[in-house]
Amino acid sequence: MANSAFTPIPALKGQDILTVSQFKPELLSYVFNLTDDMRAMMADRGGSDLLAGRVMAALFYEPSTRTSASFIAAMARLGGGVIPITQGVQFSSVAKGESLPDTVRTLEQYADVIVLRHPEVGSAKVAAAAARVPLINAGDGAGEHPTQALLDLYTIKNELGALDGLHVAMVGDLRFGRTVHSLTRLLAQFKVRLTFVSPEILRLPLDLMNEIRDGGTPVRETYSVADAINDADVLYVTRVQKERFTDLEQYEQVKGFYTIDPAQMQHAKQRMIVMHPLPRVTEIDPAVDDDSRAAYFRQMQNGMFVRMAVLAAVLGAV
Amino acid sequence: MANSAFTPIPALKGQDILTVSQFKPELLSYVFNLTDDMRAMMADRGGSDLLAGRVMAALFYEPSTRTSASFIAAMARLGGGVIPITQGVQFSSVAKGESLPDTVRTLEQYADVIVLRHPEVGSAKVAAAAARVPLINAGDGAGEHPTQALLDLYTIKNELGALDGLHVAMVGDLRFGRTVHSLTRLLAQFKVRLTFVSPEILRLPLDLMNEIRDGGTPVRETYSVADAINDADVLYVTRVQKERFTDLEQYEQVKGFYTIDPAQMQHAKQRMIVMHPLPRVTEIDPAVDDDSRAAYFRQMQNGMFVRMAVLAAVLGAV
Amino acid sequence: MANSAFTPIPALKGQDILTVSQFKPELLSYVFNLTDDMRAMMADRGGSDLLAGRVMAALFYEPSTRTSASFIAAMARLGGGVIPITQGVQFSSVAKGESLPDTVRTLEQYADVIVLRHPEVGSAKVAAAAARVPLINAGDGAGEHPTQALLDLYTIKNELGALDGLHVAMVGDLRFGRTVHSLTRLLAQFKVRLTFVSPEILRLPLDLMNEIRDGGTPVRETYSVADAINDADVLYVTRVQKERFTDLEQYEQVKGFYTIDPAQMQHAKQRMIVMHPLPRVTEIDPAVDDDSRAAYFRQMQNGMFVRMAVLAAVLGAV
């Protein structure tokens, strides 16, 4: 939908949500205000009928309990219906040889919006090109997962009040972590400092590093959490996956550096947050869960609020 | 439910939907009028609460993304609830040895209507005999799939205005294609001409051919689409499955005859439609999709409208 | 939630439902009155919007068509939303190594209540300890499945009017049958007589036998249904599973004793009921289904009513 001069804030009605690069500060502000509204409505009433009669297709070519549950809950909280295709797609139409565009063009006959999870990079773009209804990329392989990045950024803003001036430390697998890449790009639009903490073989890709450095964001790299935790406002932790290492001895050596426990949290500031996209394995000791700075479960809930906002916006209900 | 003298149009309330042979012209007209109402309601409001509080069980012993999605969407658009048992039924009660009648008699304790997909011919009849609530056959192996035939016929009527006088060409696998058999039987109730286009080994079964010939419908058979496309009002294309051929050379020879592409469409009339039950593989070139005569995605949407009408009717909500 | 002096009937709002030992006669009476209300509402209107905007997560680590369908229907009948995680959990977060507490703490960010089915004894307690929202145990291995026991007891009361004075015969696998154990404990709170009918190797565990004997309930054991059927008010039949026997000859010998058929029913009282948690295999001849004393399908429906009552109660909607 074209934006007229009378809608200075970019409208999302009818738009696809494919990449974080769609989200400039003005649009982020718009989405986060909507998210605040959803949070307030939930606290007040626990649900609404804003999307009554509307239908979302959740087309998941690979399982993702967390993401599908979050989108399904978002739709249910707004009174809408869901077509869950979250298991076994490969045994059905796709097994009969149907192309992704055909599947999408079929589903849009039934649904007002399609949420797609697919193992191949670029699949969301292909699907969106075929679809007339809004398509939301819920993860296309090593590509993007924009609502994840939105909920991450919203969590930082919601927990700490503002983005400008923050020092954000990213910890763990910074090479393959889709989540880290997208959040980094969003953060680089604000006046933040970034510290990247990873083992050598999992450092942030050079092109992304150069991109944000060239944009003027102060950046630092280190191997050790201890180098960053005392000064960080946000510690964004991700999994260091064993299978990334060819040398398992190396894995055993480094994995300890990337486990956040209560002892390490003593070096952190009183006003800071620990985030994690979950699921976690050993990166955060469960003993940290009761620390009020542990924000990862609140982060999950923000996922639902952000998705409520995005669904309502692309469906033109707000 | 018995029909009183005051309801001359056959009511569907409480009825099972098992076979197209239930649908005579008067009932078809009733269902298609309801379908028109659903279409108009959707265009106007996008959904309703006609079936609020009602529950449909979708019992799929074999996956069918398209059909289950269509039924689930139909129920959601009318505000009803869904119990989706669309995956893994075989691992549950059935694995413990439960009979289909017991599964159905259990589900009817929870649901107001049961939609059944089952790989065995006759399973829907067995299930319906056990059930007190309406049971809708959503495909029983090589048997029937009546709502598919209804949506096909509705699409022809909706696209071309009337059924009488039409020339319908069926293309592809006419031997095993459940869809083709059911639609053929429905069409034979009207003043249509039928052309059957298939390779020798996939010709329409002789008994069905005789049945419609004896009923007075003009029928013609050919091996080539080129023989039918120039004069057809409807080109109903189905998949020619490789696995039907024991001689793969034969398959390679014939498959080209049954691929509709823009070049072939130049021979077709300006006012005609191409249909396909989908999924397609190579039978219709995607380059045809943008041709306004390509009706197969609209056909999908009609599936939802027809199922909304059928669900509302059997539940006595209209 | 603490109960104040002004709510003498124990409130369930915010409570977990983990074990039948939570249910003393006063609370049973409260739940069964609610269940009666749900039944009446269903007969009257077929559904309500009592839980509109509320969301239930159905987290099933092992499939159970019957139980998940019953909970999903219960939520749908009350206008609530469902996050169905009824298949393939093992392929998702759990496969990535996530702990049950983390999964639960994530889901409670999206849902108001979590229904958990898990193959391990004690898993429900672990999950409930992690969750802030109410958690309903829908079966934890050989452990408990409290709503099943509630629906069983409700069915007896609803069919026969009162519990005191009844003679209940339990038939089949009394050793491993979770259902039998839980129902036995509930029944032992009332003035009932119990007869246990099983082959030697499937007798009720000694500790449970002693527990209810010590509580003062008159108890009798026998190998044969014929010994109990003529005097029973309730015949509660369960499956005798072939795989429990190491000696298959022994299985073939005993299985006949435990099949209820019309001939045997002639010895039963006119006012009595036959129950079965279903699925059945050969324990009850389908020829018994039309006997008005066959209560097992009504029992299924009571499962939905009881779960509607429990969901509404723990969500504080009643």
pLDDT single digits (tens) A208-224 = 999 999 999 999 999 99
A274: helix, strand or coil:
strand
Would you call A81 and B76 a contact, using CB atoms and an 8 Å cutoff?
yes
Whether C76 and chain B come into contact, CB under 8 Å, resolves to: yes
The verdict on a CB contact (< 8 Å) between B73 and A111 is yes
Q: What percent of chain B has pLDDT over 70?
A: 92
What whole-number distance in Å separates Cα of residue B201 and Cα of residue B198? Answer: 8
Q: Is C222 on the interface with B (CB under 8 A)?
A: no
Q: Which of C117, C157, C178, C185 is catalytic?
A: C117
Phi then psi dihedrals of residue C172, to 5 deg: 120, -130
A101 touches chain B (CB under 8 A): yes
Q: In 3-state terms, what secondary structure has residue A273?
A: strand
| Per-residue pLDDT, A62 | 86
What is the distance between the alpha carbons of residues C240 and B96, in angstroms, rounded to a whole number? 12
In Å, how far is B52's CA from the nearest CA of chain C?
7
Sequence-distant (6+) residues with CB within 8 A of B256 are: none
Nearest Cβ partner for C93 among A72, A77, A279: A279
Distance CA C113, CA C106 (A): 12
The answer to whether C79 and C107 have CB atoms below 8 angstroms apart is no
- Find tokens 């924000």 and name the residue: A295
pLDDT above 50 for A3: no
**Residue A179 contacts C where some CB pair is shorter than 8 Å:** no
Give the Cα separation of B114 and C289 in Å (integer): 20
User: Can you tell me the distance from the alpha carbon of C232 to that of C41, in angstroms, rounded to the nearest whole number?
Assistant: 32
B70: closest chain A residue by CA: A110
Record: contact A77-C53, CB cut-off 8 A: yes
Whole-angstrom distance, CA of residue C219 vs CA of residue C209 = 8
As a whole number of angstroms, the distance between CA C73 and CA C308 comes to 9
Q: Is the dihedral of CA B6, B10, B13, B14 positive or negative?
A: positive
Is B46–A107 a contact, with Cβ atoms under 8 angstroms apart?
no
Mean pLDDT of B201-208: 94
Q: Which residue in B39, B77, B117, B181 is the catalytic one?
A: B117
Select from B64, B66, B84 the Cβ nearest to the Cβ of A84: B84
Q: Which residue has the higher pLDDT, A239 or C89?
A: A239
C109 to A72: CB separation less than 8 angstroms, yes or no: no
Question: Average pLDDT of chain B?
Answer: 91
DSSP assignment of B227-294: GTTTT-SEEEE----GGG-S-HHHHHHHHGGG-B-HHHHTTS-SS-EEE--S--SSSB-GGGTTSTTB
pLDDT band at B91 (very low <50, low <70, confident <90, very high): very low
Chain B residues touching residue A110 (CB < 8 angstroms): 69-70, 72-73, 300-301, 304
Rounded distance between C-alpha atoms, residue C37 and residue B128, angstroms: 30
Residues of A in Cβ contact (< 8 Å) with B45: 53
- Give the single-character DSSP code of A98: -
Question: Is A300 in contact with C110 (Cβ distance < 8 A)?
Answer: yes
ipTM of the complex: 0.91
| DSSP for residue A90 | G
List chain B residues with CB under 8 Å of A81.
47, 72-73, 75-77
* C100 touches A at CB < 8 Å: no
Residues 29-68 of A with CB under 8 A from B: 52-55, 57
Determine which of B85-94, B158-167, C72-81, C103-112 has the lowest per-residue pLDDT on average. B85-94
How far is it, in rounded angstroms, from Cα C278 to Cα C64?
11
> Is the CB of residue B284 less than 8 Å from the CB of residue B260?
yes
Question: Would the pTM of this model clear 0.90, i.e. be above it?
Answer: yes
What pLDDT, on a 0 to 100 scale, did the predictor assign at position B213? 96
Residues 120-159 of B with CB under 8 A from C: none
CA-CA distances (angstroms) from residue C55 to A84, A126, B111, C41, C115?
15, 33, 19, 21, 11
Distance from CA of C78 to the nearest CA of B (A): 7
CA C189/CA C23 separation, integer angstroms:
10
- The whole-angstrom distance between residue B223's C-alpha and the CA centroid of its chain comes to 24
Predicted confidence band of residue B282 (pLDDT cuts 50, 70, 90)? confident
pLDDT at residue A5 in the model: 45
Place of tokens 């649901």: B111
The one-letter code for the residue type at B302 is N
Average pLDDT over residues B69-73: 97
Contact assignment for B297 to A103 by CB distance below 8 Å: no
Listed range (A83-87, A202-206, C254-258) with the worst mean pLDDT = C254-258
* Whether B105 is catalytic: no
Q: Distance from A164 to chain C by nearest Cα, in Å?
A: 28
When CB atoms are compared, the residue of C84, C88, C297 closest to B109 is C297
The strand pairing partners of A167, in sequence order, are A193
Enzyme catalytic residues of A: 66-67, 96, 117, 145
**B35-41: long-range contacts at Cβ-Cβ below 8 A with a sequence spacing of 24 or more?**
B35/B154, B35/B302, B35/B305, B35/B306, B35/B308, B35/B309, B36/B158, B37/B309, B37/B318, B38/B305, B38/B308, B38/B309, B38/B312, B39/B305
Find the radius of gyration of the CA atoms of chain C. 20
Question: What subunits make at least 3 CB pairs under 8 angstroms with B?
Answer: A, C
Cα separations in angstroms, B228 against B221, B223, B224, B271, B273: 9, 10, 7, 15, 13
Strands A55-60 and A113-118, how do they pair?
Answer: parallel
Per-residue pLDDT, averaged over A179-206, amounts to 95
Q: Nearest Cα to C177, choosing from C70, C277, C246?
A: C277
pLDDT at B2: 39
Contacts of A303 in chain C (CB under 8 A): 109
The Cα–Cα gap between A255 and A248 comes to 10
Residues of chain C predicted below pLDDT 50: 1-5, 7, 91-92, 94-95
- Residue A76 is nearest to which of C55, C97, C103, comparing CB atoms? C55
Q: Which residue of B has its CA nearest to C305?
A: B110
Q: How far is C-alpha A58 from the chain's CA centre?
A: 17
Active site residue B185: no
Range name among A255-269, B267-281, C15-29, C99-113 with the lowest pLDDT average: A255-269
C-alpha distances out from residue B113 to A83, B67, B71, B241, Å: 18, 16, 11, 34
Q: Mind listing the domains of chain B with CATH numbers? A: 20-145+301-314 (3.40.50.1370), 147-299 (3.40.50.1370)
Q: What does the DSSP 8-state code read for residue A1?
A: -
B125 is catalytic: no
For C143, the 3-state DSSP assignment is coil
Of A18, A98, A88, A91, the C-alpha closest to A60 is A88
Query: pLDDT over 90 for what percent of chain B?
Result: 78
For residue range B35-60, list pLDDT tens digits in order.
999 999 999 999 999 999 999 999 99
Q: Do A102 and B280 touch (CB under 8 A)?
A: yes
How many other C-beta atoms can be found within 10 angstroms of the C-beta atom of residue A132? 11
Query: DSSP states of A200-244 as a string?
Result: GGGPPPHHHHHHHHHTT--EEEES-GGGTTTT-SEEEE----GGG
Of A53, A85, A98, the CB nearest to B77: A53
State percent of chain A over pLDDT 90: 78
B293 noted as active-site residue = no
Pick the residue of B65, B68, B288 with the most A CBs within 10 A to test the interface with A by mutation: B65
Q: Which residue of C has its CA nearest to B102?
A: C279
Quick: pLDDT tens for C155-203: 999 999 999 999 999 999 999 888 999 999 999 999 999 999 998 889 9
User: Each residue of A121-169: pLDDT tens digit?
Assistant: 999 999 999 999 999 999 998 889 999 999 999 999 999 999 999 999 9
Chain C residues whose beta carbon lies within 8 Å of the beta carbon of residue B105: 289, 297, 300
pLDDT of residue C65: 86
CA gyration radius, chain A: 20
